Chain A
């Protein structure tokens, strides 16, 4: 049940927040160097020596959203793969079902952690 709720929650998060962030990023690439710099300035890091309060806030918020999207991606991916197995008619035995539900949730968190350790290790 938890996995089912997480599948829907992560899917809807990706569908709205994830898709809009992706479109914003694509639009910024199409818009040219200034548009792209503005996007990076809002979402990741404003390079100006004294960023205004809005950029200070969104530079923190942006990272929170990106970590959340990373988790939502892995959670939805793994629980989606679980759905493919269930669609095939396998994995309905109580013990098996319970085991893989836990594996899916743990894998989502671990993959998110691994991804961000990889990103931050490269950045700093």
Chain B
């Protein structure tokens, strides 16, 4: 280690050992996105999006709600990996980069949790009793 060049600091350490895992997860979630986002886009094009009742009924169908939850998991996992690479490439400075990665994790996990909670609420909350608000 020591105070040498960037190359000198890492020489001999070997790879981090996480590269292939990142690569593989990105491909697996890409495959998931291909199926699930494809389903969403076709659905969006066929749904009368201005009709709340029709959209809610569609999203509340068990199979659709399940697909939407899987979609949120796959998409947010994939976008976390993609944005991580963006940060690692363009954000310099150890502290700034760490802060950016923490923010990214808040965004990815928080966003996924919000999405899944919304879908569960759509699928399970009886519309007549629901207090509304989200």
**Nearest-Cβ distance from residue A37 to partner chain B, whole angstroms:** 7
Give the residue of A12, A15, A37, A73 whose beta carbon is less than 8 angstroms from that of B52: A37
**Alpha-carbon distance between A83 and B78 when the two chains are bound, in angstroms:** 15
- A29 near B56: Cβ-Cβ < 8 Å: yes
Q: Cβ of A119 < 8 Å from any Cβ of B?
A: yes
Q: Does B41 contact A (CB under 8 A)?
A: yes
CB atoms of B52 and A33 under 8 A apart: yes
Is B122 on the interface with A (CB-CB < 8 A)? yes
User: How far in angstroms is the closest Cβ of chain A from B106?
Assistant: 13
Chain B residues near A91 (CB, 8 Å)? none
Tell which of B10-18, B92-100, B112-120 binds the partner: B112-120
**How far, in Å, is A116 (CB) from chain B's closest CB?**
11
Given A26-B59, A119-B45, 14 other A-B contacts at CB below 8 A? A12-B86, A15-B79, A15-B83, A19-B76, A22-B115, A26-B115, A27-B118, A28-B134, A30-B122, A31-B132, A32-B130, A32-B132, A37-B52, A84-B30
Question: How near does chain B come to A38, taking the closest CB pair, in angstroms?
Answer: 11
Q: List 11 A-B contacts (CB under 8 A).
A: A15-B82, A19-B79, A26-B114, A26-B122, A31-B133, A32-B133, A33-B52, A36-B55, A40-B49, A73-B37, A115-B45
Cβ of A118 under 8 Å from chain B = yes
Give the size range of B's interface with the partner: 20 to 34
Interface residues of B (CB under 8 A from A): 27, 30, 34, 37, 41, 45, 49-50, 52-53, 55-56, 59, 68, 75-76, 79, 82-83, 86, 111, 114-115, 117-119, 121-122, 125, 127, 130, 132-134
Residues in B whose Cβ lies below 8 Å from that of A31: 132-134
